């Protein structure tokens, strides 16, 4: 991009100049247009357009999903009227909340009375995002002070304890001071929404500061006993031994309900190694696990199927296999005292992820859960 003298504006390039003739709003197009062969420049323009469109579609899809999850969570916890977060009977999405969000976004972009256009919408989003991040930082700091021993799934190697708690409020206060129309619209929306929230909580007879739990779903008809047709028992080959207590509980359930059992033997492969790396004694270990599971199954008259998978992420593999086999129940063994501290932390992380993400029922089995 050549530098040109623009009179009183001083020296500048077309990347810093607005239309017409400039590319301040689309700098990547200005860069590709400067490529000498015109044929290459034309192809690059189409490529940039395709990449930008793909990114925008992905961002919009993620934003819609987050909006839907947030509306559903707010409705479950009595932060919004349940009717506002009602799910579509076919698509299972909070269509009313999504429609209201879409109408508000269109009003901010196209509303002639506001006169802000897309810049106003972006400013409101930045204001709300920084305010939310500030509240998250405050909540994390308060939680670490009130419950310092809480389990953490990971820790960054280099961490500044209060860096986020200082930077996000600073960014938010900058928008509060310099935000202009975006600040006014966002602040008015928050201040205007508070009376509505207070009135709704008062109508429900709920305190303002109480964390309301989701209301239990009461079945419309008589209670029906849960039936498990397929069950999955994950086993880490690194342990070497079959969790007989978990298999016993699974087979007892299978015998009662005429179900069938799958024992998933998985081997975790480190990131620095090939997935098909040679592991001494692995085949023999898998065969011992399968033989042990079959032997226990024979006592109950249940056929046990064993499969083996290599994985980088144990939780992902267990969840994917359970979904592929349409398992109704995943049985996990509680971490025993014989595990080392490092192995126990890794195992607990896998269990937490499965409990959080599984669409099936999950059962944690302790040694005393086995019937004599």
Each residue's pLDDT tens digit, 248-276: 888 888 776 667 788 999 999 888 888 88
Q: Is residue 195 part of a domain?
A: yes
> Does 329 or 25 have the greater pLDDT score?
329
pTM metric for this prediction:
0.46
DSSP per-residue letters across 325-353: TT-SEEEEEPPPTTS-HHHHHHHHHHHHH
Residues near 340 by beta carbon (within 8 Å), at least 6 away in sequence: none
With beta carbons less than 8 A apart as the criterion, state whether 230 and 260 touch.
Answer: yes
Tell whether 94 and 139 lie within a shared domain.
Answer: no
Q: What is the DSSP letter of 150?
A: -
Which pLDDT belongs to residue 310?
92
Best CA proximity match to 150, nearest among 158, 138, 161, 142: 142
Tell whether 246 and 345 lie within a shared domain.
Answer: yes
Which pLDDT belongs to residue 223?
41
Task: Give the mean pLDDT of 342-367.
Answer: 78
Q: Is residue 5 part of a domain?
A: no
The rounded distance, in Å, linking the Cα atoms of 123 and 75 is: 27
> Does 293 or 152 have the greater pLDDT score?
293
Residue 163: Cβ within 10 Å count? 10
Q: Is residue 219 part of a domain?
A: no
Tell whether 134 and 100 lie within a shared domain.
Answer: no
Tell whether 291 and 358 lie within a shared domain.
Answer: yes
What does the mean pLDDT of the chain come to?
Answer: 77
Which pLDDT belongs to residue 4?
61
> Does 113 or 309 have the greater pLDDT score?
309
Which pLDDT belongs to residue 308?
92
Q: Which of 127-131, 171-175, 261-265, 299-303 has the lowest mean pLDDT?
A: 299-303
What percentage of the chain carries pLDDT values higher than 90? 3
pLDDT over threshold 50, residue 370: no
Tell whether 243 and 193 lie within a shared domain.
Answer: no
Which pLDDT belongs to residue 40?
76
pLDDT band at 16 (very low <50, low <70, confident <90, very high): low
The rounded distance, in Å, linking the Cα atoms of 144 and 129 is: 22
Tell whether 273 and 344 lie within a shared domain.
Answer: yes
Q: Is residue 169 part of a domain?
A: yes
The rounded distance, in Å, linking the Cα atoms of 339 and 130 is: 42
pLDDT band at 298 (very low <50, low <70, confident <90, very high): confident
Residues near 359 by beta carbon (within 8 Å), at least 6 away in sequence: 323
Q: Which pair of tokens denotes residue 266?
A: 């998985």
Which runs of consecutive H residues, i.e. helices, occur in the chain?
A: 27-33, 38-76, 95-110, 117-146, 163-178, 181-204, 244-257, 282-300, 314-324, 341-357
Is the link from the previous residue into 20 a cis peptide, with omega within 30 of 0? yes
Best CA proximity match to 321, nearest among 334, 306, 333, 335: 306
Tell whether 104 and 122 lie within a shared domain.
Answer: no
pLDDT over threshold 60, residue 64: yes
Tell whether 256 and 353 lie within a shared domain.
Answer: yes
Q: Is residue 177 part of a domain?
A: yes
pLDDT digits (tens, 9 = 90+) for 210-237: 777 665 544 444 444 455 678 889 998 8
Q: Which residue has the tokens 């810093």?
A: 16
Name the 3-class secondary structure at 122. helix
Long-range CB contacts for residues 314-319, cutoff 8 Å, separation at least 24: 314/234, 314/236, 314/266, 314/268, 314/350, 315/349, 315/350, 315/353, 315/354, 315/357, 317/264, 317/266, 318/232, 318/234, 318/264, 318/266, 318/350, 318/354, 319/353, 319/354, 319/357, 319/358
The rounded distance, in Å, linking the Cα atoms of 332 and 363 is: 6
Best CA proximity match to 196, nearest among 12, 287, 204: 204
Tell whether 125 and 102 lie within a shared domain.
Answer: no
The rounded distance, in Å, linking the Cα atoms of 175 and 127 is: 6
- Reported residue count of the chain is 372
Which pLDDT belongs to residue 53?
87
Best CA proximity match to 88, nearest among 97, 78, 101, 79: 97
Task: Give the mean pLDDT of 331-354.
Answer: 69
Q: Is residue 172 part of a domain?
A: yes
Tell whether 21 and 94 lie within a shared domain.
Answer: yes
Task: Give the mean pLDDT of 116-143.
Answer: 82
Domain holding 256, by residue range, is 230-369
Q: Is residue 214 part of a domain?
A: no
> Does 294 or 9 have the greater pLDDT score?
294
pLDDT band at 17 (very low <50, low <70, confident <90, very high): low
Domain count for the chain, please give it: 3
pLDDT band at 126 (very low <50, low <70, confident <90, very high): confident
pLDDT over threshold 80, residue 351: yes
Tell whether 93 and 119 lie within a shared domain.
Answer: no
Best CA proximity match to 154, nearest among 348, 287, 317: 348
Tell whether 287 and 256 lie within a shared domain.
Answer: yes
| CATH for 259 | 3.40.50.620
Strands (E), 200-272: 230-236, 260-268
Element holding 6 (H helix, E strand):
none
Q: Is residue 364 part of a domain?
A: yes
pLDDT digits (tens, 9 = 90+) for 172-218: 888 888 877 778 888 888 888 888 888 888 888 888 877 776 655 44
């Amino acid at each position: 991009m050549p530098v040109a003298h623009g009179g009183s504006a001083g020296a500048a390039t077309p990347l810093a100049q607005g239309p017409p003739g400039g590319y301040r709003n689309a700098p990547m197009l200005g860069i590709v247009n400067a490529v000498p062969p015109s044929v290459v420049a034309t192809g690059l323009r189409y490529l940039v357009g395709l990449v930008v469109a793909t990114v925008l579609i992905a961002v919009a899809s993620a934003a819609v999903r987050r909006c839907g999850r947030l509306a559903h969570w707010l409705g479950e916890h009595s932060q919004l009227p349940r009717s506002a977060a009602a799910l579509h009977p076919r698509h299972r999405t909070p269509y009313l909340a999504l429609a209201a969000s879409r109408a508000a976004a269109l009003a901010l972009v196209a509303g002639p009375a506001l006169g802000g256009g897309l810049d106003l919408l972006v400013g409101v989003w930045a204001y709300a995002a920084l305010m939310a991040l500030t509240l998250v930082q405050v909540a994390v700091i308060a939680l670490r002070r009130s419950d310092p021993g809480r389990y953490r799934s990971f820790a960054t190697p280099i961490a500044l304890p209060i860096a986020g708690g200082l930077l996000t409020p600073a960014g938010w206060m900058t928008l509060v001071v310099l935000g202009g129309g975006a600040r006014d619209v966002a602040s008015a929306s928050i201040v205007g929404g508070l009376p509505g929230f207070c009135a709704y909580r008062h109508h429900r007879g709920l305190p303002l500061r109480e964390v309301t739990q989701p209301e239990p779903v009461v079945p419309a008809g008589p209670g029906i006993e849960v039936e498990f047709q397929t069950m999955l028992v994950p086993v880490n080959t690194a342990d070497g031994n079959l969790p007989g207590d978990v298999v016993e509980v699974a087979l007892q359930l299978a015998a009662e309900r005429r179900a069938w059992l799958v024992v998933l033997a998985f081997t975790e492969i480190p990131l620095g190694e090939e997935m098909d790396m040679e592991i001494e004694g692995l085949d023999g270990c898998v065969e011992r696990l399968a033989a042990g599971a079959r032997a226990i199954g024979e006592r109950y008259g249940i056929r046990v199927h064993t499969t083996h998978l290599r994985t980088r992420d144990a939780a992902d593999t267990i969840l994917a296999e359970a979904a592929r086999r349409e398992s109704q129940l995943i049985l996990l063994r509680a971490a025993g005292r014989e595990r080392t501290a490092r192995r126990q932390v890794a195992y607990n992380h896998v269990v937490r992820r499965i409990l959080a993400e599984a669409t099936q029922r999950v059962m944690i089995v302790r040694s005393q859960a086995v019937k004599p």
